Amino acid sequence: MRINAVTEGAMSVTIIVLLSILNAIFGFLGFLIPIPIAVLVYRHNLKVGGAASLAAALLVSLILMSPLFGLDLIIGSIVGIALGLALKENFKFTSLFIVGVGASIIASLLRISSFSVISGFNAIDTYLETIEEVSQQTLGFLQNMGISEQFLIQYSQELAALPSLFKMLIPVLLVFLGVFETIIALFVLKIVLNRLGVSIPKAPPFIEWKWPWYFVWGFILSKAMLIVEQYYSNDILQIIVINTDTFFSAAFFIQGLAIVWSFLIKARISRVFRIILVVLLLISGNVLIYYFLIMFGVLDTWFDFRKLTVDKEE
């Protein structure tokens, strides 16, 4: 190793150890741990990044007196290594994002399975217990407020269905978690590497977000399977249907939101009022608004409401 690689690796190990300790205490800094590793892999190589990850894992295990924290760090470093290698290979933004999401999903699966085998800790069961506790507390709060008995019965039935719904949605929830983690990682990486004089591929502007044409057929297929599942219901088909429908509906909801945002910009509405309007739409809880945005995104595949194809050809 070169001297600057050793020095930078030592600094990165220090940062990773601090982030891991703070994450063990506060529990919300784990998404930042892959950043220093990604920078090391990009600026040097996989060997330097891997050595820093192992050294940090050993120190964290000694400081916190548990090898599980070191194992968690090593698993989390998969995301940093994947992003660093993708940046080193000059991947475009879309490919870079897919690599990050895929690495995050693999890390989550490894984390759940390894912790379950080694320590008997089952993250899914823990989340389910938390959901049940929160549900019971919410139900008790509503009872104290004097809510009608009919509403409480209906609400308690819906709360009772939450654990089973959570289990069925685990695949798509892992995807959403991967998307969230990758967004944070790329955002922080952009800031760090810009300070080092390096630019990374930029995401297209939000008003230009548009999914590939074949996404619409995934959406149509998910709705078709939803109809089939009503007549030929079984557990496996139900899990496939609910996950595919949730994924494609969420994707086209975001595209519909991008269309609305672009129209608001063309209408020359100030940024503050645009944000207020969109926030009001999102927190309204009106199912028709969500459905409208989803269909707006689906129809954009054929009608190109923003004329993105025409602009690219010009």
Let me know whether 82 and 149 are in one domain: no
Let me know whether 183 and 241 are in one domain: no
The domain boundary, picked from 134, 160, 195, lies at 195
Closest CA to 25 of 59, 62, 64, 54: 64
Does 309 fall in a domain?
yes
Let me know whether 183 and 217 are in one domain: no
Let me know whether 67 and 181 are in one domain: yes
Number of domains composing the chain: 3
Let me know whether 163 and 181 are in one domain: no
Let me know whether 154 and 220 are in one domain: no
Closest CA to 41 of 29, 32, 55, 51: 51
Does 10 fall in a domain?
yes
Let me know whether 79 and 133 are in one domain: no
Question: What region, left, alpha or beta, does residue 64 occupy, with left being phi > 0 and alpha being psi -120 to 50 degrees?
Answer: alpha
Does 148 fall in a domain?
yes
Let me know whether 212 and 224 are in one domain: yes
Let me know whether 255 and 309 are in one domain: yes
- Distances 280 to 233, 250, 270, 276 between C-alpha atoms, Å: 37, 18, 16, 6
Does 201 fall in a domain?
no
Q: Which two tokens stand for residue 16?
A: 């990773």
284 φ/ψ angles, rounded to the nearest 5 degrees:
-65, -30
- Distances 212 to 203, 215, 248, 249, 300 between C-alpha atoms, Å: 15, 6, 12, 14, 11
Does 200 fall in a domain?
no
pLDDT, residue 1, reads: 43
DSSP secondary structure string, 147-203? --HHHHHHHHHHHHHHHHHHHHTHHHHHHHHHHHHHHHHHHHHHHHHHHTT---PPP
27 φ/ψ angles, rounded to the nearest 5 degrees:
85, 15
Let me know whether 158 and 211 are in one domain: no
Name residues of the chain where pLDDT drops below 70.
1-3, 120-123, 131, 139, 142-143, 146-153, 155, 285, 309-314
Does 265 fall in a domain?
yes
- Determine contact, residues 105/174, Cβ cutoff 8 Å: yes
AA letter at 65: M
Cα torsion through 292, 211, 108, 44, rounded to 10: -140
Does 270 fall in a domain?
yes
Q: What radius of gyration, in Å, describes the C-alpha atoms of the chain?
A: 23
Let me know whether 163 and 178 are in one domain: no
Neighbouring C-beta atoms of residue 252, cutoff 10 Å: 24
What pTM was estimated for this model as a whole? 0.85
Assign 133 to helix, strand or coil: helix
pLDDT, residue 314, reads: 47
pLDDT, residue 216, reads: 93
Does 186 fall in a domain?
yes
Q: Which domain holds residue 135?
A: 122-168
pLDDT, residue 3, reads: 52
Residue 211's contacts (CB-CB under 8 Å, 6 or more residues apart) are 251, 252, 255, 297, 301
Let me know whether 216 and 293 are in one domain: yes
